[in-house]
Structure 1
């Protein structure tokens, strides 16, 4: 056993938190050992249960029991350490060492200074083992106060009475000797130096704990700032991507408008040039015919045969019909205003394009806050049938209604399982093909047994559609241009905002602003009058 003990490293018995020998050693699930007090304080400070060495995190704080085997090993280690200390003391008595730099030398040694073992607060000198013997054997010197070897012993003595500074004046906050307390500080509050030392030690430990807590808070603040910076960085990257997409689309629209403008001008010029070419061709053909007739006339006019001239004159080709070119001209097309009209058209196109792109960007922004919403069967009206995965609801009329404290009894509704009390959230529902549906958000205390007033004043922010033969209306009717196939619901709790989106059209249907949410909010859904239809909570796919 002793052989094994001699091979043991002292570090095996040190707690990695306090760096001291184990006190009540405990073992955490990952296998590492700590003082029970140290690991408990570490968990309380950090607010989470993990191993300070390997950083393994535990879902729940494990129960801590003292490891008796390690405790016995530590006790044996302490005994061995004390034996080594006493052995070291005895060996030093027989074999003294020279004073090294930083060690207190013996003041009585001449030549080579030996290491001092004690300092006398009366003699104001430090002594090695040999020169200390008189203070251990001579009766008059035995009364001198010995202390661990220290330098500058004069600083530890009263400069007025040459007595040890062993008292503390709390009134003047200074160290004094026994005579000072009687002569100069007799009316002051005097305490032993050790008592004040222990009080200051307690203050230092309290300050150290406060500093440790402040450091921990600042570490958490650093983590919080880093997380905020990361969120800001991600938001900036997303915003840049959205902006680039918008400006690229606008640039393409501008280029397309420019090309259309240039083509319009070039088409007009091409038409004008073609008209001029046609006129010139006709004129050149007439000139050719006239030239031919002129040759015939000239040749006949030179004939001296009377009979031939008369016979040939009657057979001479008639003059071709001559076109009146007086009013014919090539007029340049009216180019004035073409650029202005092109710019106006481009402006209108860009306005529509920008509105569409901004709407798509806004929808993509809110879709980043998508959450998984499922239906709560315990709240469903008996006429509603939910799918096993809690994502789809159908209307199936049931004549045997059951009473349940959480179930909707009068109005045909069902709530979602998830509640929202802070932050931002988004979910979307496929509603196409249904003639009567409703969805949105309601307060937790919504009346499940009576009629629900679907108004924001009553804590209900609901969008509904009811189709009839004579008309179609979406509440409020002025908010809808067509029946949406897929509706997105967005909540910004801090801003008091609830918005409904037509996902396929990337268009805002309506928004509730300036809302107050004193209670938790729950998703709410309704489907009525069509046994073949269904409402489906669908996943968010940012492809807009």
Structure 2
């Protein structure tokens, strides 16, 4: 306890009144008070006058004398303070205030020598703290090594999984590109087939309409002839001179109605079955598949068109 009082008294004498820390480059003023050189010069510069911060005595000149005795005292006080701090940092038993030097393996806790001799730890297994630290650090290092190895294995698995995901994404991208390309070709082929089918329909239409229009012309010609004859007959009916009427009528060898040939309406039905949607669709797919297979199809092309054919049958 006395040593503590002496230590506190010593440290108070080695502390600068301005910074409240151990002196650094201590100097003495003319009044005898001591300060750190940097502290006192900064104080004078700040206040704009040369005065002592403790006694307030003012000086004409800045006279600073090095206090060598206080330099040595400050260094010793700083050393003692540092050692006291390091000593105080050691762990002590809360009950006996003794340093914890033993490790109780039974209770898995640090104890002091007095506690080890007590009834609480009777028959327990002890070892020095340094030895316990070495043993348990070895266990921790072993666990660390094992976990590091496991981490490495998992990192390899992570990398492999990332590569697998990347491979699937790459395959998907390639497959989508192939689908887009193949369907673009398919659209082109089907568009050409569409134009051919539409052309065939127009040819069928033109052929049927040509026959029907020819028959219509004949019907209209016959109708015109009949109309002309009707007009003549109407004139004869309206003729007022009976003698003349008889002469003209007797001159006709036959009537138009006797000369008119039999007329029929030509059937103009398009062959709808020939252009049936389902028939055309399956035929177009088969022809498309045949056209592609005439080249150098890849496996994907074959599978694609077989799938299309099967789904539409």
Q: Does 1:206 align with 2:142?
A: yes
Deviation string for 1:367-426 (max 9, x for gaps)?
xxxxxxxxxxxxxxxxxxxxxxxxxxxxxxxxxxxxxxxxxxxxxxxxxxxxxxxxxxxx
Deviation string for 1:185-214 (max 9, x for gaps)?
352222111111222333333333333333
Using structure 2 for the length normalisation, give the TM-score.
0.55
Structure 1 SS opposite 2:103: strand
Using structure 1 for the length normalisation, give the TM-score.
0.34
Do the aligned partners of 2:102 and 2:113 also contact (CA within 8 Å) in 1? yes
Q: Distance in 1 between matches of 2:184 and 2:143?
A: 60
The corresponding residue for 1:194 is 130
1:274 shift after superposition: 2.7
The corresponding residue for 2:34 is none
Alignment match of 1:350 (pick from 281, 285, 301) = 285
Unpaired runs of 5+ residues, structure 1, are: 1-106, 116-127, 136-145, 366-544
The corresponding residue for 2:297 is 360
The corresponding residue for 2:106 is 171
Q: Distance in 2 between matches of 1:233 and 1:167?
A: 61
Q: Distance in 2 between matches of 1:176 and 1:132?
A: 30
1:304 shift after superposition: 8.9
Structure 2 SS opposite 1:209: helix
Do the aligned partners of 1:269 and 1:333 also contact (CA within 8 Å) in 2? no
Alignment match of 1:241 (pick from 174, 177, 199) = 177
Do the aligned partners of 2:116 and 2:122 also contact (CA within 8 Å) in 1? yes
Q: Does 1:324 align with 2:258?
A: no
- Within a 5 Å distance, the mapping from 1:217-256 to structure 2 comes to 217-252=153-188, 255=191
CA radius of gyration, larger in: 2
Alignment match of 2:211 (pick from 272, 275, 290) = 275
Give the stretch that moved more between structures: 188-197 or 217-226.
217-226
Do the aligned partners of 1:253 and 1:350 also contact (CA within 8 Å) in 2? no
The corresponding residue for 2:77 is 130
Do the aligned partners of 1:168 and 1:192 also contact (CA within 8 Å) in 2? yes
Q: Distance in 2 between matches of 1:352 and 1:150?
A: 97
The corresponding residue for 2:97 is 162
1:173 shift after superposition: 1.2
Instruction: Point out the structure with the larger strand share.
Output: 1
Change over 3 Å in CA distance of 1:171–1:300 after alignment to 2: closer
- Within a 5 Å distance, the mapping from 1:13-52 to structure 2 comes to none
Do the aligned partners of 1:250 and 1:354 also contact (CA within 8 Å) in 2? no
Change over 3 Å in CA distance of 1:334–1:252 after alignment to 2: same
Change over 3 Å in CA distance of 1:351–1:279 after alignment to 2: closer
Root mean square deviation, CA, Å: 4.6
Do the aligned partners of 2:92 and 2:99 also contact (CA within 8 Å) in 1? yes
Structure 1 SS opposite 2:96: coil
Do the aligned partners of 1:167 and 1:177 also contact (CA within 8 Å) in 2? yes
Give the stretch that moved more between structures: 266-275 or 185-194.
266-275
1:324 shift after superposition: 1.0
Deviation string for 1:327-373 (max 9, x for gaps)?
x0132415554454x4124224425645967x9342689xxxxxxxx
Change over 3 Å in CA distance of 1:272–1:353 after alignment to 2: closer
Do the aligned partners of 2:101 and 2:113 also contact (CA within 8 Å) in 1? yes
Q: Distance in 2 between matches of 1:277 and 1:150?
A: 125
Deviation string for 1:26-50 (max 9, x for gaps)?
xxxxxxxxxxxxxxxxxxxxxxxxx
The corresponding residue for 2:310 is none
Q: Distance in 1 between matches of 2:274 and 2:183?
A: 25
Change over 3 Å in CA distance of 1:148–1:361 after alignment to 2: farther
Unpaired runs of 5+ residues, structure 2, are: 1-6, 24-74, 303-313
Q: Distance in 2 between matches of 1:236 and 1:150?
A: 69
Do the aligned partners of 1:268 and 1:333 also contact (CA within 8 Å) in 2? no
